[in-house]
Amino acid sequence: MPRWGMVIDLDKCTGCQSCTAACRVENNVPFAGPEQAELGRPIFYNEVLEEEIHGHYPFLKTQFVPRPCFHCENPPCVKVCPVEATYRDKEGVVLMDYGRCIGCRLCTTACPYAVRYFNWSAPQFPAPLDQALNPDVPARPKGVVEKCTFCTHRLRAAQAQAEEEGRELSDAEAVLLPACNQACPASARYFGDLENPESSVSRLSRSHRAFRIFEELGTEPSVYYLKSE
Amino acid sequence: MTKITRRDFIKLAGISAAAASLSSCGRERLLSIWRQPNGPSTTPPSKSAWVPTVCRICPAGCGVLVRVVGGRAVNVQGNPRHPLNQGKVCPRAQAALQVLYDPDRIQHPLRRTSKRGEGQWERIPWEEAIAQVARHLMSIRQAGQSHTLLFLHDAPPGHMQELIRRFCQAYGSPNVVAADGLDAERLTHLLTQGWFDLAAHNWEETAYVLFFGGSFLEDWQPQVHMLRAYSYMRRGRPDRRARMVQIGPRFSVSAAKADEWVPLLPGRQGALALGMAHVIIRERLYDHDFVLNHTEGFADFVALVQEQYAPDKVAGLTGVPAETIQRLAREFVGNRPAVAVAGRGLAEGTNALFSHVAVHALNALVGSVDVPGGVLRPRQPPFTPWQPAPSEGPSQPRLDGAGSLAYPLAASALHALPERILAGIPYAPQVLFLYEVNPLFEGAGASRWRDVFQRIPFIVSFSSFMDESTRYADLVLPNHTFLERWVDGTPPGGLGVPTVGVGRPVVGPLHDTRHTGDVLLTLARTVGGPLPDLFPWRDFEELLRFRTHGLFEAGGSIQTDSFDQFWRELVEQGTWVGAPYTFGQWEKVFTTSSGRFQFRLNQLEETLSELGVNTGHLGLEGKVDVLALPHYEPPRRAGDESEYPLHLVPYRVIADAGCRAPNAPLLWEMYGLHLKEMWQNWAEIHPETAHHLGISDGDHIWVESPQGRVRLKARVYEGAMPDAVNVPLGGGHTAGGRWASQVGGGNVAELIVPQTDPVAGTVAWCSTRVKVYRT
Amino acid sequence: MQTTQEEILTLLLTPLTRTSLGFIMLVGLLLLIMAGGAAAYVYQFVNGLSVTGMNRPVYWGLYIVNFVFFIGLAHSGTFISAILKLVGAEWRKPLARAAEAITVFSVPFGAGSILIDLGRVERSANVFLFGRFESPLLWDVTSVSLYLFSSIVFFYLSLLPDIARCRDELLDVPRWQHQMYRILALGWKGHPQQYRRLEKVLSGMTVFMSMLVVIVHTVVAFVFSMTVQPGWHTAVMGPFFLVGAVFSGSGAVVVAMALLRRAYHLEDILTHKHFDYMRKLLIALTLVWFYFIVAEHLTTLYGQEVEEMHIFREKFTGAFAIPFWTMFTCCFVIPLVIFLTKGKKSIGWMVVAGLVINVGMWLERYIVIVPTLTRPRLLSGLTTGTYSPTWVEWAITAACFAGLFLLYALFTRFFPIVPIWERSEEIEALLHETQT
């Protein structure tokens, strides 16, 4: 049984935000517009965070940290959901059941990484922008929570394809499977099976540069970062 | 009535209370219909097709694959075959879908029915629109006034650019004015190496890079190539990690990702480069072999540098400590192959050319010219040559003064146009064509272009968006977006190996728009004279077929027996790649008369004396013999220091797609990563400066230059230099679509006092001083 | 002067027979406010929660503040009628029903606030159909439902003999009102066995309710403290909420007492003595509240943990300084001063104290919930959220308060607010008899 994880190399990341853009296009994430953006409501399944600049002028330092959902093994969000609208599937991906979510937002407040987002109003895709919607990803109504799914629709399609061809999904196919990974010009992102010790993500997760965010919380994130030199 | 005892009542109450908390087992089965879990793809893979094309949102021309499902474009990814981006894209390409399906796109030809700029239009059929334009062109031509056609464009390198040039040339107008602003680099290569083009780089082998000027990870051409190269240089080679230094006016993304940021105000790059040259020469660390065998004028260069650019003096000119200059110089020579890059962004001043020349001289000093890891000459794809175009009548001077006494070596000088047109020098333009350019927003001084437009009797825009300039047009002949038309592109600078991207329409046209290339070809046929013969192609696709025949003959990455086969393959693959780069072909690398790298800029010297130009007239400080060597030309700054104490530094962020995607909410919502700003621009001010001026983070301020003032949100930013104000280009739109109009902030272009590099003709973006104060 | 039983009866029962103009105007005003809130809710339902001021990262706002506040307010009733009964504080008897009425009428608005806050309220049944007990929200739903249900039953049962009395003795009332009494009295005859059984049930429920009181508000606190967010993940949250609940509830009881005393001329029933007992109770609660505040913040300050300190600073000197210090003043400084000085003699000042306490406690809920939300752990160094409630949230908040007052006013119009049967000497004698 594979356990999906991701590795992001912070040394290579150039802060270009291709991942953010690709994810939003792939997953039919609505844009918020200026007023809603001012209020803090845009949805970014993947968001590039920039650390607070430290140091003294001109010896300044900062880091760009692309942040998808961490698909924790011990997810605080799944724990607190009253109706099991969010759940961790057998392969380790934390998913949403949009049809069941009651919009109580306990999961969004429980997540220490703030990776979960809420549809404060019905997503708008003024015609003809709705023509560009990806048919593989369900539309969400207002009032439900959504977040990064590790592009589970792509994963399932690739697995189905592999099964049809009578083989396993290879590591090479997996690495660039999510939209964010595929778009990254710096090839800074990897996806794959953490249960397979030979996969790229497994090997990289054992690197001396590897770390996870807030490991002390015991959430066991499935996303590893490789720190810059 | 049956008496319910209290006992029963309480029992009932107790049971009901428990019922509120019954577990879900058993229920789940019953109500599983409510569950809608994330499931597999609803579209069987076979129904979607991936169509290759070339992204035209920026000049780079990355190869992209567009997913089409049921006639709709739903996704954009990189084309793995295209050597420039190899399957990767930047955020702007992702916005292509929002460009195609923009609800505010111009959907059909429009004719103005109100006064210019008031925005009342009537729809007219294409035939009528083209006929009207043709009539204008024909009558002007018959009156012997062909030269009064002014074609402003920012067409990316490719056949639209070629077509526009040829059209004007055949029609009889010298006034094709390009807006890309990269001519300082091109002219540098012309003067030092004999060819007018951007450089290509072989980043795979580079060990050390000095980036002077703009942010190479946000404002570079071709951008995706540089992003990939950065990653490769850092971690792609197990035994080597390239070291990079960003020298520039702000702590940009690039400065953060480089190993070191050297704060330097724009316009002073040349001094710093020459200071480093001084150290390299003094310590004899230059590449003796290269200098001896492949350069000319080195002795003169040495004499000048030794005399004028000692580190202490340069420290005084630049604010960079002498020790840093020395250290950088030693690092540069100690980590070969090392490359010095002068920037392809907005960080140019009035001395752009000489800055570039000084920086490029460093490459010559360490022999990084045409070696692995160094600076290469791009090889042009072997397109079928054009038929020679006869020129009718005496050649007329250009409206923008390029090539004349005003700008003797410039190829074009867009930002000199307003002054000249308003003064009627050298003559009045009668027709203006606008293609992928928005001078009313992006031109230096922005709104002064309105007066310019008012002087021109007939204005035609080919824009897909009702942007600021198109609002002032008389006739709009909207282009297809690039996903709806035949496109091609050759990367600017970039790779070295000849690369061509070709793309067919990904989806059928959404609206009643037309490929501007087709429109120009129709016009050519209608206008008459020599044009119909010179433009025998029915449409742009046919033109591409004609030109790519040369690629077929050359072979390259697509080898077939017939051209039809070749064409099919080309369209299917989306790209053609020529022969790999061969280093050391010196006769190609140096096409100067000496066949060597010119430290002494003979061509400049000769041109100036031929024209009898006084350097003072050009606003240049030195005498010609100094001018003709890499030297520091102090930048002119508009605005008196006492009244305007701060330097304005305009810059671009990666999410800025300019006039090619003004109305893409995706990009506006990720506009200002480092300051967490969306949907507006800002003015970055150093904390001490802000404190001194009584400005807090988030205050609204006026930023005022001698040209005008704009209202901006102040952001206190430690990465700003103390005497600079950094403002990104993009905010302050008043047109372009519903989302463009909602973007807050102010247009920094309004503040730019129009000044031009007198030699290269490029606009001096960074030569304006400003003052700031609270509103 | 000792008022006779007759006079007391008259005092308590007469208001139930007529409607004053003041009452009609009050009801009219409250209905108007509630209509405003209803309109605001419809607007919110149609347009989504974007009409509120909530955002990322401040996912919860006024609605959750109201939820905690109203549930907290409810604790007074149970505290006074159940817990004080257990320790045998007889003085509580006249206040009991007034206090329980607060409970019964504010819990629905607490629970209702949650429903108002949901993104998809039409799916709230999912909580019952697919409920997961690992979620603190389920503990909440269970305990609050249980609490509401048992409070209503307890309240109703305590009211039963008095309804019967109304049925029997209020003859010049409209027919429908008499019918109402008849139906609700469930055929109560007033036999000694009935009284005995009632006493037994109520005693049993007292124990149960006392446990519930502790559980309910602790569980409400768990919704916050079971997350790992800074400022929330503390063990003191449960007891702190509990104390706060009893505190605010008791303050409300004082206000209710004073209002009823004035409106229904109950000066001889709700005497200065009662107010004095409440005063002493409230002093104790004020001090315990202060103890918890100090314990929590001193621990945070001493520990100097980065993310915790961000929130600490926001509360003490930053964006939330004004609400924080207002809260402190309203919950500690002003009440204590009043209780130790003016409150001894003046009921008016006690009312002031009660109101101020509740304002402070509402702010306290706000201070617990919002600052932590503005600085979730990962973003705490990078960005600070802001929260500005909109008219929708204020309108709905006002409607909830108006609803509470309305139900309360309607109740006191039709039912005696002071228990009659418990005071009756005859009944006391009856009970004594059967016990010996």
ipTM value of the model?
0.96
Name the residue among C58, C124, C229 with its Cβ closest to that of A102: C124
CB contact under 8 A, B22 and C142: no
Residue pLDDT, tens place only, C181-191: 888 888 888 88
pLDDT value of residue C213: 86
The pLDDT value given to residue B47? 67
Does B23 contact C128 at a Cβ distance shorter than 8 Å? no
Beta-carbon contacts of residue A17 (< 8 Å; ≥ 6 apart):
A48, B91, B654, B655, B670, B673
Considering the four listed CATH numbers 1.10.1040.10, 3.40.50.300, 3.40.605.10, 3.30.70.20, the one that applies to the domain covering A4-226 is 3.30.70.20
* pLDDT computed for residue B27 by the predictor: 47
Residue C319: its chain B contacts at CB < 8 A? none
Q: Burial level of B574, CB count in 10 A (0-12/13-18/19+)?
A: buried
- C144 φ/ψ sector (left φ>0, alpha ψ -120 to 50, else beta): alpha
Instruction: Take residue B553 and report the two structure tokens written for it.
Output: 């003959």
Q: Which residues contact C322 (CB under 8 A, 6 or more apart)?
A: none
User: Out of C49, C57, C137, whose CB is closest to A143?
Assistant: C49
Closest Cα to residue B218, out of B260, B254, B257? Answer: B254
**pLDDT value of residue B28:** 46
* CA B240 – CA B223 distance, rounded (Å): 23
Taking only Cα atoms into account, the Rg of chain A, rounded to an integer number of angstroms, comes to 18
Residues in chain B: 775
Which residue on chain B is closest to A86 by alpha carbon? B37
Element containing residue A86 per DSSP (H, E): strand A86-88
Residues forming beta bridges with residue A189, ordered by sequence position: A8
Which helix (H) or strand (E) covers residue B597, if one does? strand B597-598
Nearest Cα residue to B528 out of B133, B134, B131 = B134
Low-confidence ranges of chain C (pLDDT < 50): 1-2, 436
Q: What pLDDT is attached to residue C344?
A: 82
The answer to whether residue C227 neighbours chain B at the CB level (below 8 Å) is no
Query: Of C118, C120, C376, which is closest to A112 when you measure between CB atoms?
Result: C376
Whole-angstrom distance, CA of residue B219 vs CA of residue B204? 20
Is the per-residue pLDDT at B300 higher than 90?
yes
Q: Given this model, what pLDDT does residue A125 score?
A: 92
Among candidates C133, C153, C198 on the partner chain, residue whose Cβ is nearest the Cβ of B13: C153
Record the tokens describing residue B760, joined without a space: 């290269």
CA C259/CA B284 separation, integer angstroms: 97
- Our CA dihedral for B14, B18, B19, B25, rounded to 10 degrees, sits at -150
Put simply, the answer to whether C149 touches B20 (Cβ < 8 Å) is: yes
Measured between beta carbons, the chain A residues lying within 8 angstroms of B262 are 58
pLDDT band, very low/low/confident/very high, at B255 (cuts 50, 70, 90): very high
Residue pair B319/B276 in contact (Cβ under 8 Å)? The answer is no
Single-letter amino acid, residue B165:
R
Question: C390: nearest CA in chain A?
Answer: A39
- The CA distance from B12 to the nearest CA of chain A, in Å, is 27
Residue B34: pLDDT above 80?
no
The CA distance from B749 to B479, in Å, is 26
Which is more confident, A141 or C271? Answer: A141
Q: What is the mean pLDDT of chain B?
A: 90
d(CA A120, CA A116): 13
Report, in this order, helix, strand and coil percent for chain B, each rounded to 5.
35, 20, 45
Cα A221 to Cα A15, A73, B318, distances in angstroms: 22, 6, 48
Q: Is the peptide bond before B645 cis (omega within 30 degrees of 0)?
A: no
Backbone CA torsion sign across B431, B433, B437, B438: positive
User: Which residues in chain C touch residue A106, judged by CB atoms under 8 angstroms apart?
Assistant: 135-137, 223
Rounded to an integer, the average pLDDT of B543-548 is 96
Which residue of C lies nearest to B30 if distances are taken between CA atoms? C129
pLDDT given for residue B19 in this prediction? 47
Tell me the C-alpha distance between C103 and C82, whole Å.
12
Task: Please answer yes or no on whether B3 and C187 come within 8 Å at the CB atom.
Answer: yes
Token representation of residue A191: 């996806």
Question: Is B284 exposed, middle or buried, given 0-12, 13-18 or 19+ CB atoms closer than 10 A?
Answer: exposed
* CA–CA separation, C9 and C266 (whole Å): 11
Instruction: Find chain A residues with C-beta within 8 A of C49's C-beta.
Output: 103, 118, 120-121, 142-143
Cα(B522)–Cα(B532) distance, integer angstroms: 9
Q: pLDDT band for position B2 (50/70/90)?
A: very low
H-helix segments, A64-151: 76-80, 106-110
CA–CA gap between residue B473 and residue A149 (Å, rounded): 47
Query: Chain B residue closest to A13 (CA)?
Result: B231
Task: Check if C53 contacts A (Cβ < 8 Å).
Answer: yes
CA distance B319 to A58: 12
Number of helices (H), then strands (E), belonging to chain C: the values are 17, 0
Residue B672: DSSP 8-state: B
A223 touches chain C (CB under 8 A): no
* A61 contacts chain C (CB < 8 A): no
Q: Mean pLDDT across the stretch B645-668?
A: 95
Interchain CB distance below 8 Å, C186 and B4: yes
Nearest to A82 among C49, C131, C378 (CB): C131
Dihedrals phi, psi of C67, to nearest 5 degrees = -55, -55
Q: Which residues on chain B are in Cβ contact (under 8 Å) with C383?
A: 676
Residue C369, min C-alpha distance to chain A (Å):
10
% pLDDT > 90, chain A: 90
3-class state of residue B727 by DSSP: strand
pLDDT of residue B481: 96
Q: Which of C137, C141, C376 sits opposite A114 (nearest CB)?
A: C376
Average pLDDT, integer, range B195-216: 94
Contact A118 C59 (CB under 8 A): yes
**What's residue C3's pLDDT?**
53
Asked if the peptide bond before residue B426 counts as cis, ω within 30 degrees of 0, the response is: yes
**pLDDT at position B427, please?**
93
Q: Determine the distance in angstroms separating the CA of C117 from the nearest CA of chain A, rounded to an integer.
A: 7
> B80 to chain A: nearest residue by CA?
A182
User: Comparing C-alpha atoms, which of B424, B287, B269, B393 is closest to residue B343?
Assistant: B269
Length of chain C in terms of residues written: 436
Confidence of residue A120 (pLDDT cuts 50, 70, 90): very high
The tokens for A51 are 């650390």
User: DSSP letter string over B274-340?
Assistant: HHHHHHHHHTT-S-HHHHHHHEESHHHHHHHHHHH--HHHHHHHHS--HHHHHHHHHHHHHSSSEEE
CA angle B345, B351, B357 (to 5 degrees): 80
Q: Give the nearest partner residue to B24 out of C130, C157, C186, using CB atoms.
A: C130
Within 94-113 of A, beta carbons closer than 8 Å to C belong to 100-106, 108-113
Q: How confident is the model at residue A41 (pLDDT cuts 50, 70, 90)?
A: very high
User: Which residues of B fall within a CB distance of 8 Å from C129?
Assistant: 24, 27, 31, 34
For A117, the closest of C49, C56, C227 (CB atoms) is C56
**C148: closest CA of chain B, how far (Å):** 9
pLDDT over 90 (residue A222)? yes
CB within 8 Å: A79 and C378: no
With contact defined as 3+ CB pairs under 8 Å, the chains touching A are B, C
* Contact check, Cβ <8 Å, C129/B27: yes
Question: Rounded distance, CA B454 to CA B445, Å?
Answer: 16
Q: How far apart are CA A147 and CA B31, in angstroms?
A: 25
Write down the pLDDT at residue C368: 94
pLDDT in tens, B468-495: 999 999 999 999 999 999 999 999 887 8
Mutate to test the interface with C, among B4, B6, B678 (most CBs of C within 10 A): B6
Q: Tokens 């000792």 label which residue?
A: C2
Chain mean position to CA B75: 24
Size of interface B-C (CB pairs under 8 A): 49
How does pLDDT run across C361-393, given as a tens digit for each residue? 999 999 999 999 998 888 766 777 889 999 999
Interface test with C, best of B4, B12, B24 (most C CBs within 10 A): B24
Tokens of B722: 């103390």
* C3 inside 8 A of chain B by CB: no
Q: What is the number of residues in chain A?
A: 229
Contacts of B74 in chain A (CB under 8 A): 132-135
From residue C4, alpha-carbon distances to A86, B261, B333, C218, C429 in Å are 65, 92, 110, 44, 17
How far, in whole angstroms, is CA A198 from its chain's centroid? 23
> pLDDT at position C396, please?
97
A145 exposure class (CB count in 10 Å sphere: 0-12, 13-18, 19+): buried
Q: Does A85 touch chain C (CB under 8 A)?
A: yes
| Mean pLDDT of the B510-519 span | 96
Distance of alpha carbon B97 from alpha carbon B72, whole angstroms: 10
The span from the CA of C62 to the CA of C53, in Å, is 9
List the alpha helices (DSSP H) in B578-697.
Answer: 586-589, 602-611, 624-627, 665-668, 687-693
Chosen from A56, A57, A207 to mutate, greatest number of chain B CBs within 10 A: A57
Neighbours of B760 (CB within 10 A): 33
3-state secondary structure of C3: coil
Residue A224 has φ and ψ, to the nearest 5°, of -105, 150
- In angstroms, rounded to a whole number, what is the distance separating the alpha carbons of residues C217 and B397? 86
Per DSSP (E only), the strands in B117-250 are 121-123, 149-153, 176-178, 200-201, 208-212, 243-248
Give the other-Cβ count within 10 Å of B645's Cβ: 16
